[in-house]
Amino acid sequence: MTNQSHRLDLAFGALSDPTRRAVVMHLSQKPASVGELAEPFAMAMPTILQHIRVLEASGLIETEKIGRVRMCKLRAEAVHETEQWLALQRAIWERRLDRMEAYVSHLQAMEETNDRNC
Amino acid sequence: MTNQSHRLDLAFGALSDPTRRAVVMHLSQKPASVGELAEPFAMAMPTILQHIRVLEASGLIETEKIGRVRMCKLRAEAVHETEQWLALQRAIWERRLDRMEAYVSHLQAMEETNDRNC
DNA sequence: GGATTGGTTAGTCATACGACTAACTATGAG
DNA sequence: CTCATAGTTAGTCGTATGACTAACCAATCC
């Protein structure tokens, strides 16, 4: 549970940076090497590498070194888990709103009945 | 677009802290005051307030001061938007996997045809 | 085998973050 | 009016983060 919480810390933390989100977007299209990922950014290579490490530590991507290039790819399951946390909170909230709405309709119905009877 | 990116920075950043996620979870059940939110944590009030400010700045919650208590509630739309970003990346990735799978089946079918014909 | 390419490590630096205490404000209750 | 309550502001402190440069390794290529 605490471990699960830590995974979310890392995942959300990883996604809080625009460069890293751009990397994720790139990887959602297709796997890529560190160099390819670095190209669109005016950024030193070690900086990108650091971002990739952060994403990897979060589990959102995985990497494998083949020869001298390191290929990176998205881990959809991890993205899904993160998404699920948000979906759950929203579901709880929205269920609550539904119940409230139902309750309000109920009250209104009662009131109308009263109007008729008094 | 840059503004949208900044909103995601704030939302994901806000959610990267376990205390703030706990606050969001609490608020998904029902709105609450700052004091109520602070209670479960062994944390000084100003610290919680700071977390609440971060959540508010991200748009994930909204607050309103009534008398001397400040009520906080979840903004489901903002949660939804954040969730959508993740859903989109995953959808793109999974569509790609589907295409690849289809392509592989295609190749296999071709190969079988070849086997029969040669 | 020597140069080139792609990545990696180490070390630095400025800024941001999360927590705290102490002191202050403003509302509501008796 | 006075006091307790709920929140707020200001200021401090240690650690984490994101960026950089310089130097280093290890596969390829010619």
B10 lies in a domain? yes
State the average pLDDT over residues B35-52: 96
| Structure confidence at residue B112 as a pLDDT band (50, 70, 90) | low
Secondary element (H or E) of residue B59: none
Task: Assign residue A19 the CATH number of its domain.
Answer: 1.10.10.10
Q: CA of A7: how far to CAs of A34, B27, B71, B81, in Å? A: 23, 21, 30, 21
- Of A86, A82, A105, A100, nearest to B31 by C-alpha is A100
Nearest to B90 among A17, A76, A94 (CB): A76
- B24 vs A contacts (CB less than 8 Å): 89
Q: How many separate domains does chain B show?
A: 1
A21 lies in a domain? yes
B105 lies in a domain? no
Lowest mean pLDDT among A19-23, A105-109, B42-46, B84-88: A105-109
CA of A105 to C1' of D5 (A): 36
Cα–Cα dist A24/A37, whole Å: 10
A71 lies in a domain? yes
Q: By three-state DSSP, how is residue B23 classified?
A: helix
Tens digits of per-residue pLDDT, B5-22?
999 999 999 999 999 999
Q: Which nucleotide is nearest to B20 (CA to C1')?
A: C18
Give chain A as a DSSP string.
-HHHHHHHHHHHHHHTSHHHHHHHHHHHH--EEHHHHHTTSSS-HHHHHHHHHHHHHHTSEEEEEETTEEEEEE-HHHHHHHHHHHHHHHHHHHHHHHHHHHHHHHHHHHHHHHHHH-
Using an 8 Å Cβ cutoff, are A54 and A14 in contact? yes
User: pTM value?
Assistant: 0.89
Q: By three-state DSSP, how is residue B44 classified?
A: coil
| Structure confidence at residue B100 as a pLDDT band (50, 70, 90) | confident
Using an 8 Å Cβ cutoff, are A62 and A56 in contact? yes
**CB contacts < 8 A (A, B):** 95
Q: Is the pLDDT of residue B80 over 60?
A: yes
B84 lies in a domain? no
The structure tokens listed for B114 are: 């070849």
A17 lies in a domain? yes
B98 lies in a domain? no
Tell me if A79 and B94 make a contact (CB, 8 A cut-off). Answer: no
Tell me if A9 and B24 make a contact (CB, 8 A cut-off). Answer: no
Tens digits of per-residue pLDDT, A35-91?
999 999 999 999 999 999 999 999 999 999 999 999 999 999 999 999 999 999 999
Q: What percent of chain B has pLDDT over 70?
A: 92
State the residue range of the domain holding B25. Answer: 2-75
Using an 8 Å Cβ cutoff, are B60 and B75 in contact? yes
A48 lies in a domain? yes
